[in-house]
Structure 1
Amino acid sequence: MIAEELKVVVDKLNGQGKMSFLEAATEEQISQFEESNKIKLPEKYKEWLRYSDGGEFFLPAGIQLYGVAHKPLIDIEDDDMPDDDYIVIGALASGDPVLCEKVGEKIAIFDNETGSIDDELVYDDFFALLNDLYDLLGIGE
């Protein structure tokens, strides 16, 4: 069952553009991923994975999120990580990686052009990122 906060976000996204959500990951798949990689994913990101284990937003070009059970998978050794405090969980169409903290709930966008995390694109949690995608991608402009 989808939590009410996530349902509101998903309904909003579906009303804004074409999405392709993957099959949900199971609690066991998420736990196994965390254990085998010695990490703890953010709670709201895990809630998303239980709804959709990755997917694409605002097709044809927007953002792609990675999963723990369906390809593309999260690669904790991804070369796009700015440092060991982050995991790459997706990418914008521009190639800028979407990051989550290894410890904590924050989600951030790494700007490949400047080689840094844009302070204006740091979100308190995964749902905050999802709620901002329409504006982040400039779709309404």
Structure 2
Amino acid sequence: MEFEEFEAILSAARTERAGQSLPEGFQLFDSWVASDADLSHAEQTLRARLPEKYKEFMRRHGAGQFLFLDLLPVVSVDEQQDDLLSVNEEEFRGGEFVAVAPVGTGDWWGFRVVDGVCLDRVDFVDHEDGSVSSAYSDFLEFLARRGLRAD
């Protein structure tokens, strides 16, 4: 999926939900954006080049709540918040996977790493047996289908 198509889907989702009353403190979109310096630091620390669509999304829209997904911020917004580096240093030290979104059950969405480069597709890691299965062709498709529930 390309950004033009993704932005149209995102715009429609935002329009559809405009004016909805939400519980106090609840956000549909947090938008904790990342700078180029944040992304460069993350790549150096993880020793993996992140997918371009992921990096561009983090620059444009950012992490946190993304409708039906919770995306890890590249840099924590407070000391209590998990971020890309803390989760991956704790959960995925082998450097073969970069987690970007918790499933909520202990499982993760993220990218397989091959020769220091994250693959474009988004994979699912099962926390019980460590198995990795392919799920979405790229980060924007993942966001549209899982986060925005667009078909």
Q: Do they fold alike, i.e. is TM over 0.5?
A: yes
* Counterpart check, 1:68 vs 2:71: no
CA gap 1:31/1:67 in 2 versus in 1, 3 angstroms: same
Q: Name the CA distance, whole Å, in 1 between partners of 2:94 and 2:43.
A: 19
**What stretches of structure 1 move > 6 A for 4+ residues in a row?**
none
State the 1:134 CA deviation.
Answer: 5.7
State the 1:68 CA deviation.
Answer: 1.5
CA gap 1:16/1:50 in 2 versus in 1, 3 angstroms: same
Aligned residues: CA RMSD: 3.1
Larger radius of gyration: 2
Q: Which amino acid aligns with 2:104?
A: A
Cα deviations across residues 79-101 of structure 1 (Å, max 9, x unaligned)?
Answer: 2x496321111112333211113
Partner of 2:20: none
Report the identity percentage. 22
State the 1:57 CA deviation.
Answer: 3.0
Cα deviations across residues 35-92 of structure 1 (Å, max 9, x unaligned)?
Answer: 233221111110110023311133xxx421112223431033232x496321111112
TM-score by length of 1: 0.71
CA contact (8 A) 1:44 1:127 kept: yes
Name which of structure 1's ranges 11-20 and 24-33 shifts more when overlaid on structure 2: 11-20
* Counterpart check, 1:87 vs 2:101: no
CA contact (8 A) 2:46 2:95 kept: no
CA contact (8 A) 1:109 1:118 kept: yes
Partner of 2:121: 106
Partner of 2:90: 78
* Structure 2 portions without partners, runs of 5+: 18-26
* Structure 1 portions without partners, runs of 5+: none
Q: Name the CA distance, whole Å, in 2 between partners of 1:125 and 1:35.
A: 22
Partner of 1:44: 53
CA contact (8 A) 2:64 2:70 kept: yes
Q: Name the CA distance, whole Å, in 1 between partners of 2:131 and 2:11.
A: 32
**3-state SS in 2 of match to 1:77:** helix
CA contact (8 A) 2:6 2:144 kept: no
TM-score by length of 2: 0.67
How many residues are paired up? 130
* Counterpart check, 1:10 vs 2:10: yes
Partner of 2:38: 29
